[in-house]
Amino acid sequence: MYAARGVLAVHSEHGTSIVPADRVAWTPADSAHQHRAHGDTDMRIIFLTAHLARFMPEGPAVFLASGLAREVVLALTGPGNYEESAPGYSRSARARLVRVLVEELREADEQPLHLPEPRDDRLRAVARILSEDPANNATLAEFGKAIGAGTRTLSRLFRSELGMTFYEWRTQLRLYHALVLLADGHDTLHTANACGWANPSSFIAAFSAVIGTTPGRYRTGSTG
């Protein structure tokens, strides 16, 4: 899935892939999923054959689309290319373009925009609280006290199950909510407050480090 505009959230048993504009989300075959668009979204979908899918990651992933990858996706999903009966690229031409796309994605760095889904009930309890209130600034120890789990246990579970620390996971969650709020038209100040950043400057720094542009520029569709 490619977001030419807007924000996509792709939910599966593995977690949630957050797909802002100019990102590509990969979802493996036989993985039940659903997606939701936020804001004025232009979504494009391309299916890979089993032969090409084996070159992609085993689990969900999000990539930054290169200029070439973006143009290939737009070409493959343009008018006349969704239905084989409509005029557009021939089957062989489409196959060549899809191979180019896969090669581009293989060379691209994965973006830290996949939010893993906890399996342990204790982690699920923490995730539920933060999903309902991403501005919650409680420490891991405070969460542990509330749900009846030790700090060390929770810290170990975050690393073993989700492959990241609690604070890294919470930052990912907040960035997801921030992207949704920006797509819905909220400004930087409101978004920073709603997602738990101490001030707009710290939000802008965290957002820019991952997305590659400031919240204000992202909201207006400008990357310059």
Q: Radius of gyration (Cα) for the chain, nearest Å?
A: 19
- pLDDT above 70: residue 84: no
Residue 148 pLDDT level (bands cut at 50, 70, 90): very high
- pLDDT above 70: residue 85: no
Residue 80 pLDDT level (bands cut at 50, 70, 90): low
**pLDDT tens figures, 25-65:** 888 887 777 888 887 878 888 999 999 999 998 888 889 88
- pLDDT above 90: residue 151: yes
CA distance 158 to 118: 8
Per DSSP, the three-state class of 95 is helix
**pLDDT tens figures, 164-186:** 999 999 999 999 999 989 988 89
Give the number of other CB atoms < 10 A from CB of residue 58. 8
- pLDDT above 50: residue 224: no
- pLDDT above 60: residue 87: no
> 69: which 2 tokens?
């990858």
Report the relative pairing of strands 33-44 and 2-12 from DSSP bridges.
Answer: antiparallel
Residue 89 pLDDT level (bands cut at 50, 70, 90): confident
- pLDDT above 50: residue 130: yes
Per DSSP, the three-state class of 134 is coil
Percentage above 70 pLDDT, the chain: 94
Q: Which residue has the higher pLDDT, 127 or 32?
A: 127
CA distance 63 to 24: 5
- pLDDT above 60: residue 82: no
Please name each of the domains of the chain with its CATH number.
Answer: 2-107 (no CATH), 118-220 (1.10.10.60)
Per DSSP, the three-state class of 188 is helix
For the segment 123-147, the average pLDDT, to the nearest whole number, is 94
Are residues 21 and 53 in contact, defined by beta-carbon separation less than 8 angstroms? no
